[in-house]
Chains A and B, each alone.
Chain A
Amino acid sequence: MAIAQASLERRRRRRPGHRPRSPRTPYVLIAPAVVAMLGFLVYPMASVVYYSLQHYNVTQPWDNGFAGLDNFRTLLFEDPLFWQSLGFSVRWVVVEVVLQLLFGLALALIVNETFVGRAVSRALVFSPWAVSGVLTTGIWVLLYNPQTGVSRYLADLGLMEYGAAPLADPDTVFAAAVLAELWRGVPFFAILLLADLQTVSKDLYEAASVDGASRIRRFFHITLPHLKDAIILSTLLRAVWEFNNVDLLYTLTGGGPAHQTTTLPLYVAATAAQSHDFGYGSALTTAAFLILTFFSIAYLRLSKFGAR
């Protein structure tokens, strides 16, 4: 960068006719992005933090005013649903990210090989990546419904009982939601990891196999270390995304039955939309933001991201 800058200076001096660029240029270029993000990301976030310190309930305006840390005290000590939804969020994120990573890695390794039909297979197995949460719900509602679903056709063949309704049964609802999200989540990892696999030097494999290293050894000593940063980054991005994402659970289970599948963001949305308690909803949001940021920094530190 410094060298480029220096040679740039030289060029400019050499051509006196060239209008010198004012130092304002980069600011002008970046201004639209800054304005958009200040206005519609930073300011709303700041207002969330501000409201988290206020009593602000549309239905009880007489109580509105500065609250100090009241909202946070309630959240920590008096609200079992906060802890329950946080607990479910963690469980959801861990199960989804781990399974998506394992399947995504396996898939990336497979479609990285050379075989007939590779291009088509790639396009097909990656395709659920582009599907929305609502559409995923639509499709899996069809698949899970006792009248229209897979179970009915299996029952027709005598392979299982009629009337299985995975989404209504508290014992199976978690697994059912996990499977649906897995369906559209695995391609994310497969795409990212495949991109990184293609940058592994072929010579390394050649050398290792000349030295008689088995496929498994090559995987653990060449492939996995190479993928390390990509895996750390993609699991982090995915964890944050799965934590924040509400489309699928909102439409598939609505957080039920009996709040069993309510994540923290779903709980926030319900607090804001149903009880109109914006002050408390903001405190929940702030807590979620802090938890995510803290987790992300800790994750990057502990995993030694970027260190080889």
Chain B
Amino acid sequence: MTTQTAPPRHDAPPAPPRPRHRPASAQRVSRWQIYVPLGLYLLFTLVPFYWMLVFALRPRGSSSLIPWPITLENFATIWNGLGFAVFFRNSLLVGAASLVATTVIALAGGYALARYDFRGKRLFMVAMLCTQFIPGAMMLIPLFEIFRTLGLVNTLWSLVIAETVFQLPLSLILISGFIKNIPMELEEAAWVDGCTRLRAFFAVVLPMLRPALVAVGSFAFIHSWNNFLFALMFISDQEKFTVPVGLAYTLGEFSVDFGALAAGGVVAALPVVLVFAVIQRYLVQGMSAGAVKG
């Protein structure tokens, strides 16, 4: 990544009041130049979601494209009959554990990278970039052997470890980029006031890292929630399946039950879409300050 850094948003001076006239870039765009392409794209984005909702909510045998009257029988089928209740719980556990592990490890490492010079730092940075080229799918065999040696095959721990490790490089880069943007003087001021370095970190740095933490944590959760291959390869016990594996099995049935497939899809989508709705504004911020420029 480049060394150039965007000014951090948190300590930028408050934006001056918006000028009355629109900025030049917006002046000559007529409304239909925005709404027509946007509307078409929204159609492309939303029709697939809507299709899934229709099949999940409408009664069996119906072919109406308006899911009315609503029925929850498909959800009952997958939740209890196909075991999605268990898959859902497993996915939540793995997601939460990877979120915490990734964030804590990346926070400590990111602080070291941003605030200290030490031998091996450059090597570590280069190695982190190189890991981005490692094909995750192709690490399945060696990882499987390692987990077998450690006795972790067929446990949720194997998933937590694999997710965390694959999430770490990008999280470290993002968080250290953010910490670099926080002026050192702020921390030093806290030391002068008698804070230890650790206390200064918690009192001064941590609160300012909120956008970065939200971005890193939600990346970790979403990736872990969505990951399919690790769970497919490392887990053989149906009691320990995650949601994507369960969904893939619904797909693989000889005669696909489309209602159940759609309901499973809604269950798989709901948590990430909710998380996404909350974080999407931070996401753009986090990206512009940390990932791209830092």
Q: Which residues from 1 to 29 on chain B have a C-beta closer than 8 Å to any C-beta of chain A?
A: 1-2, 4, 6, 22-29
Q: Does B99 contact A (CB under 8 A)?
A: no
B25 contact from A37, A125, A191, A202, Cβ within 8 A: A202
B109/A205 in contact, CB under 8 A: no
Main SS at interface, chain A: helix
Q: Which of A92-124 contact B (CB under 8 A)?
A: 103, 106-107, 110-111, 113-115, 121-124
From 98 to 119 in chain B, residues with beta carbon under 8 angstroms from any chain A beta carbon are: 105-106, 108-109, 111-113, 115-118
Flag the segment in A2-10, A63-71, A158-166, A168-176 that touches B. Answer: A2-10
**Known contacts A123-B277, A129-B276: does B284 contact A198 (CB below 8 Å)?**
yes
Q: How many B residues, CB 8 Å from partner?
A: 105
Interface: A1 (CB within 8 A): yes
Q: Which of A10-45 contact B (CB under 8 A)?
A: 11, 15, 18, 21, 23, 25-27, 29-30, 32-34, 36-37, 39-45
List the A side residues contacting B130 at CB < 8 Å: 293
**Contacts of A271-308 to chain B: CB distance below 8 A:** 272, 278, 281-282, 284-285, 288-289, 292-293, 296, 305-306
In the assembled complex, A137 has its CB within 8 A of some CB on chain B = yes
Given contacts A192-B292, A269-B140, contact A30 B42 (CB under 8 A): no
- Contact assessment for B287 and A45 in the assembled complex, using a CB-CB cutoff below 8 Å: no
Count class of interface residues, chain A:
35 or more
Verify B109–A138 contact, CB threshold 8 A: no
12 additional contacts, CB 8 Å, given A125-B42, A141-B256, A208-B24? Answer: A29-B109, A29-B116, A34-B109, A47-B145, A114-B22, A115-B35, A134-B228, A138-B251, A139-B48, A209-B27, A229-B292, A250-B229
A130 touching B229, Cβ below 8 Å: no
Q: Which of A27, A37, A51, A127 contacts B131 (CB 8 A)?
A: A37
Could you name 8 residue pairs across A and B whose Cβ atoms are closer than 8 Å?
Answer: A26-B112, A32-B109, A41-B139, A123-B276, A130-B222, A145-B258, A230-B292, A240-B132
Q: Which residues of B approach A to under 8 Å, CB–CB?
A: 1-2, 4, 6, 22-29, 31, 34-35, 37-38, 41-42, 44-49, 51-52, 55, 65, 105-106, 108-109, 111-113, 115-118, 121, 124, 127-128, 130-143, 145-146, 161-162, 164-166, 168-169, 172, 184, 188, 191-192, 197, 222, 225-229, 244, 247-248, 250-251, 256, 258, 261-262, 264-265, 268-269, 272-273, 275-277, 280, 283-285, 287-288, 291-292
